[in-house]
């Protein structure tokens, strides 16, 4: 199996691929359908599906162990799923050619590529594989982040290695940027700079971005869309701006809960409360009506903050 470094970098320097507008119009940058993955008999992904639209910034949020990193590795073709399909621009993720690889940037959760090289030497080497490599951006960002270009990567701190990996992913000016917990090892100032850069890339150049996180405030600063992941499944994906208008937490009294059969339309989370009542979280489609339960006698409906909604879905 290819390593992360081998898969994330094209095998040979390539010319800039022609812009195929018909394909870009038909195929989203990322389309993942029904992915299953098990390790040593343990289910990590259970029918996970996800789609990233062109120019969107999708924040994939979930608790540690929800399956975010595995899903990202599957959608990039770094891991073969047991079932389901992952496609990048309509092409099987397991069979991306050099042209497709040159159009995407990836930052893993724990960057480990080429640790024996100095920072500057690694970036110079990788830059030769990308026709749109922005050497000026590399030099300016190394200076702004006080990263020594003559220091060996293996001797950097985790936060410094993360910053170098981010520079490496952004320098080719990718059309698709995938980041796995990119801010985990960064200090608050660096994290805000990164999120600002993500939003700017999407807004100015139309870069499509997928980043995973368990930090709700990161989503609110950078994402246009959000996907909640829980126990190996994507249980909710929607636009961030309309999420508050389209979800409700319902408290169904015990007397009514005992008569509730099956799932409520749009239900994404359910908890039984100590008094026998039910706490349900429902999300309606953009043009759909609320389920009748929302206005049923004795049912109390609340709108939640993004953080509270995340807690409800992840519990």
Place of tokens 């920072």: 119
In the chain, alpha helices (H): 4-8, 21-26, 68-75, 98-101, 119-127, 135-144, 158-170, 188-205, 216-222, 240-246, 254-257, 306-314
**What pLDDT digit, counting tens, does each position of 229-278 carry?**
999 999 989 898 888 888 999 999 998 888 888 888 888 889 999 999 99
What is the rounded end-to-end Cα distance, in angstroms, of the chain?
A: 35
Please state which of the ranges 96-105, 182-191, 271-280 shows the lowest mean pLDDT.
182-191
Residue 172, burial from CB neighbour count under 10 angstroms (0-12, 13-18, 19+): buried
Indicate whether 295 pLDDT > 50. Answer: yes
Position 21 pLDDT exceeds 80: no
Read off the pTM: 0.83
Give the closest residue to 215 by CA, choosing from 84, 63, 36, 102.
Answer: 63
pLDDT digits (tens, 9 = 90+) for 192-205: 888 888 888 777 77
The neighbour count for residue 142, using CB atoms within 10 Å, is 18
pLDDT for 23-39, tens place per residue? 445 689 999 999 999 99
Residues, the chain:
315
What phi, psi does 2 have (nearest 5°)? Answer: -65, 145
Confidence band for 138, pLDDT divided at 50, 70 and 90: very high
Q: What's the rounded Cα separation, in Å, for the pair 69 and 172? A: 23
User: Where in the chain are the domains?
Assistant: 4-115+172-231, 240-314
pLDDT in tens, 32-81: 999 999 998 899 999 999 999 999 999 999 988 899 999 999 999 999 99
pLDDT of residue 16: 35
Q: H-helix or E-strand containing 281?
A: strand 278-283
Percentage of the chain lying above the pLDDT 70 cut: 92
What pLDDT shows up at residue 78? Answer: 93
Distance from chain centroid for Cα 308: 20
Could you please state the CATH topology (level 3) that the domain comprising 4-115+172-231 is classified under.
Answer: Rossmann fold (3.40.50)
Contact 50, 71 (CB under 8 A): yes
Res 215: pLDDT: 83
Which comes out higher in pLDDT, residue 313 or 22? 313
In terms of phi and psi (left: phi > 0; alpha: psi -120 to 50; beta: otherwise), the region of 171 is alpha
Report whether pLDDT(8) > 80.
no
């Amino acid at each position: 199996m290819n390593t992360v470094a081998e898969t994330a970098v094209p095998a040979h320097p390539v010319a800039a691929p022609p812009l195929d507008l018909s394909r870009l119009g038909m195929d989203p940058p990322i389309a993942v359908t029904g992915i299953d993955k098990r390790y040593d008999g343990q289910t990590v992904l259970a029918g996970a599906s996800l789609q990233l639209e062109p120019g969107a910034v999708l924040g994939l949020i979930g608790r540690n162990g929800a399956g975010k990193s595995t899903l990202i590795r599957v959608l990039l073709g770094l891991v073969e799923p047991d079932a389901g399909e992952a496609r990048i621009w309509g092409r099987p993720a397991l069979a991306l050619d050099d042209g497709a690889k040159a159009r995407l940037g990836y930052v893993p959760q724990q960057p480990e590529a080429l640790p024996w090289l100095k920072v500057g030497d690694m970036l110079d080497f990788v830059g030769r594989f990308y026709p749109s490599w922005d050497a000026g951006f590399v030099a300016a960002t190394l200076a702004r982040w006080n990263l020594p270009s003559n220091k060996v990567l293996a001797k950097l701190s985790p936060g410094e290695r993360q910053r170098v990996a981010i520079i490496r992913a952004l320098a080719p000016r990718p059309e698709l940027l995938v980041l796995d917990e990119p801010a985990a090892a960064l200090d608050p100032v660096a994290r805000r700079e990164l999120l600002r850069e993500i939003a700017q890339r999407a807004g100015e150049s139309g870069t499509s971005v997928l980043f995973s996180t368990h930090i709700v405030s990161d989503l609110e600063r950078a994402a246009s869309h959000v996907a909640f992941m829980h126990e190996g499944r994507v249980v909710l994906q929607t636009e961030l701006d309309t999420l508050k208008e389209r979800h409700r937490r319902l408290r169904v009294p015990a007397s009514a809960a005992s008569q509730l059969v099956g799932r409520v339309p749009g239900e994404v989370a359910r908890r039984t409360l100590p008094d026998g009542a039910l706490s349900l979280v429902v999300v309606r489609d953009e043009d759909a009506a609320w389920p009748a339960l929302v206005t049923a006698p004795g049912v109390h409906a609340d709108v939640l903050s993004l953080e509270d909604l995340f807690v409800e879905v992840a519990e």
